[in-house]
Amino acid sequence: MKILVIDDDKNLVETIQIGFQLQWQEVEIVTALDGEQGIKKFFEENPDLILLDIMMPYKDGYTVLKEIRQTNDVPVIMLTARGEELDKVKGLELGADDYLVKPFSYLELFARIKAVLRRMLMPSPASFTPSFVSGDITINFDNREVTKNGQIIKMTPTEYNLLFLMARNVGHVLTFEHLLNKIWGPEYRDQFDYLKTYISRLRKKLEDNPEHPRLIQTERGLGYRLMKLAQPISLQS
């Protein structure tokens, strides 16, 4: 596995490299010390995962993340000294998979990386029906493809896994804790902002009016429910 570390803190980058050499030797570490170099290394190296700082020269982490997400859904974990809630939400809304505030322990870093990779590899149960239809939304479980009115909707692995879990339990309320535990893992059971942000991302992609959702409904204080909507009536001449 190849991990790209984009961070202008040379000491931190070197320490991460040493940590991986000691704890996870089968991982190759590629580094970049600013945002522009990070984009260049991303296209050259095709990494399996990116550790991305926010405050960097030339291009900040948010700009780098936007450019990466235009073409690729590679897992990205934000590494930053900025721990404010709005900074975390902004990173998640732009497509980050996780957010780790400095200083952090390497055991925590390794755990977050493994959790992100686990979400990337979550399989679809073979016993489930090959597809799910609700209104103009279709989920093809065989190829993990989601369409709206026949048009493919680009999904990150975490977005798809969240939608898949709700589709398997269509019409039933899934609690916040259950969704966080199943999709992110037990260590994320209190990270409600992660879930809220990803539900918002799904609504923007799937709902006709994200401000008044019909497909993904909120049960206040409990959780979320995916609804089985009637298919649109086709008017033929």
| Domains of the chain with CATH codes | 2-120 (3.40.50.2300), 131-226 (1.10.10.10)
**CA–CA distance, 8 with 5 (Å, rounded to integer):** 10
Question: Do β-strands 137-140 and 145-148 pair in parallel, antiparallel, or remain unpaired?
Answer: antiparallel
DSSP label of 11:
H
Instruction: Give 135-143's long-range contacts (Cβ < 8 A, gap of 24+).
Output: 135/214, 135/215, 135/229, 135/230, 135/231, 135/232, 136/231, 136/232, 137/206, 137/215, 137/229, 139/163, 139/164, 139/167
With 80 as the cut, is the pLDDT of residue 219 above it?
Answer: yes
**pLDDT digits 0-9 by tens, 44-78:** 999 999 999 998 988 999 999 999 998 888 999 99
CB 7 within 8 A of CB 51: yes
**pLDDT digits 0-9 by tens, 168-189:** 899 999 999 999 998 888 888 8
Kindly indicate the confidence band of residue 129, based on its pLDDT and cuts at 50, 70 and 90.
low
With 80 as the cut, is the pLDDT of residue 206 above it?
Answer: yes
What pLDDT, on a 0 to 100 scale, did the predictor assign at position 90?
Answer: 85
Whether the upstream peptide bond of residue 75 has omega within 30° of 0, thus cis, is: no
Percent of the chain with pLDDT over 70: 92
**pLDDT digits 0-9 by tens, 86-112:** 777 888 888 899 988 888 888 888 888
**CA–CA distance, 122 with 75 (Å, rounded to integer):** 14
CB 155 within 8 A of CB 146: yes
The tokens describing 85, both together, are 């809630």
Q: Give the Cα-Cα-Cα angle 17, 60, 73 (nearest 5 degrees).
A: 70
Percent of the chain with pLDDT over 90: 49
